[in-house]
Amino acid sequence: MNRLQTAYCRAYQKVMKAGSDLIFTWKEPEIIGGAGAVKNLAKIIKEKGFSKPLIVTDPGLMKLNLLAGLFESIEAEGYSYALYDQVVPNPTIENIEAALKVYNDNACDCVIAFGGGSSMDCAKIAAARAAHPDKSVEKMRGMLKVGKGLPTIFAVPTTAGTGSETTIAAVITGANHTKVTILDPAIRPPYAVLDPELTLGLPPFITAPTGLDALTHAVEAYIGKSNTKNTEAKARQAVNMIYKYLPVVYEDGKNIEAREQMLLASYYAGVAFTQAYVGYVHAFAHAIGGMYGIAHGSACATILPEMLKYYGYTCSKQLADLADEAGIQGKDETCKAKKFIKSIQDLNASMGIPARFEQLEEKDFNELADRILAEANPLYPVPKEMDRNDVLRMLKHLKA
């Protein structure tokens, strides 16, 4: 990228950071945590004056009977709920509108987002549509286009990775498999229910990419140029915990202490990137995942080490810091940074994450580049900017 383009991006990012720090309080969601926490949610909802939650989830969780405790506890508290359980991976606008209809038809007064990132994102935007029926999903695309007054959202993650329970973001699949990214503090859930019992049954093939998604959040937040002391501390803490506990839960999914620590790590990483933003890894993952139906966490994990190599010396110090958190030693910053990148590759390989994308086709590169650049430039405060030629070279590099 030429100097003029880089200067424009950096100026834009500085203005965005200054404006967001001035406008937003960045209050973190209140944690309702511990084993069995979801069973206490019904009582908490009632105490806060609500009596008809809409529960948004997906068919897979319904089949696993993971919501039984929540359903029973709501009934025991003497009130009822409405249910939308048809969220698909990479939720669609049709999902949003269907959930909204259930909310309106049943006169609901709050929302419980139960599941992974897809259920969270669907619930967030359904709540936004309920508050602002005159705004379509497309009209909410971008930054600060939602508006206030949303129903209270109680976010119950069943994976440790997306951090969606603490973010101001939601990503929806629009027409032609494009990603509609919505960023607004209004959609940040006020409450996050971190119950490790809900994650005990996750198989390794879900545990791995979701955990690596959380790692990507923490790394991209830390190496970016919009950090605060709080986001730096949260990102480092998340990396420390993920390196310690992700291999444990991958091998032993019933280890409840490790599951609880991974939920907290995902939450901390979510807090970090919500304020400090992500980077090109996410822009590439959204574009590639949307076009080829690749799970977001897996896409991020494949892209992360290659993008860190591209950044090179521009973030060596930050990567060396994260190497310290991961317990990686080296003679100097450059050495530790390289070892940290290698450790991510090794972690990916140990969990069956591919090093390249077999799905990538060169005929799609120009369209993918359009989507990547539209998302990332000038918004993301990355260590090193990319222009179109850089993006195309990276796509070629990522192709198996």
Between 35-49, 164-178, 321-335, the lowest mean confidence (pLDDT) is in 164-178
- In angstroms, the CA 38 to CA 212 distance is 25
Give the model's confidence band at 2: pLDDT under 50 very low, under 70 low, under 90 confident, else very high. Answer: confident
Q: What percent of the chain shows pLDDT beyond 70?
A: 99
- In angstroms, the CA 158 to CA 58 distance is 11
State the pLDDT at residue 180.
Answer: 87
Peptide bond into 196 cis (omega under 30): no
- In angstroms, the CA 222 to CA 273 distance is 8
Report in angstroms the alpha-carbon separations of 348 from 170, 186, 312, 325, 386.
26, 35, 20, 18, 25
Question: What is the per-residue pLDDT across 183-221, written as a single tens digit (0 to 9) for each?
Answer: 899 999 999 999 999 999 899 999 999 999 999 999 999
The whole model's pTM is what? 0.92
DSSP letters for 339-365 = HHHHHHHHHHHHTT--SSBSS--GGGH
State the pLDDT at residue 18.
Answer: 86
Give the model's confidence band at 19: pLDDT under 50 very low, under 70 low, under 90 confident, else very high. Answer: confident
According to DSSP, the residues that pair with 157 across neighbouring strands are 115
H/E element holding 383? Answer: none
State the pLDDT at residue 339.
Answer: 98
Using alpha carbons, select from 98, 95, 114, 97 the residue that is nearest to residue 53: 114
Does residue 89 carry a pLDDT above 90? no
Does residue 383 carry a pLDDT above 80? yes
State the pLDDT at residue 178.
Answer: 77
Q: Mean pLDDT throughout 33-54?
A: 96
- Its CATH architecture, for the domain 34-199, is 3-Layer(aba) Sandwich (3.40)
- In angstroms, the CA 382 to CA 225 distance is 6
- In angstroms, the CA 25 to CA 232 distance is 17
State the pLDDT at residue 16.
Answer: 85
Three-state secondary structure call for residue 96: helix
Query: Beta strand 191-194 with 82-84: parallel, antiparallel or unpaired?
Result: unpaired
**In contact, 166 and 125? CB cutoff 8 Å:** no
Report in angstroms the alpha-carbon separations of 380 from 118, 229, 374.
22, 19, 11
Q: Mean pLDDT throughout 134-153?
A: 93
**In contact, 327 and 243? CB cutoff 8 Å:** yes
Between 36-45, 73-82, 169-178, 327-336, the lowest mean confidence (pLDDT) is in 169-178
- The mean pLDDT value of the chain amounts to 95
Domain ranges in the chain are: 3-21+202-398, 34-199
- In angstroms, the CA 392 to CA 362 distance is 9
Using alpha carbons, select from 64, 268, 40, 230 the residue that is nearest to residue 154: 40
Residues in contact with 60: Cβ distance below 8 Å, sequence separation at least 6, in sequence order? none
Give the model's confidence band at 37: pLDDT under 50 very low, under 70 low, under 90 confident, else very high. Answer: very high
Give the model's confidence band at 157: pLDDT under 50 very low, under 70 low, under 90 confident, else very high. Answer: very high
The CATH classification number of 3-21+202-398 equals: 1.20.1090.10
Give the model's confidence band at 24: pLDDT under 50 very low, under 70 low, under 90 confident, else very high. Answer: low
Using alpha carbons, select from 315, 209, 305 the residue that is nearest to residue 266: 209
Does residue 305 carry a pLDDT above 80? yes
State the pLDDT at residue 182.
Answer: 92
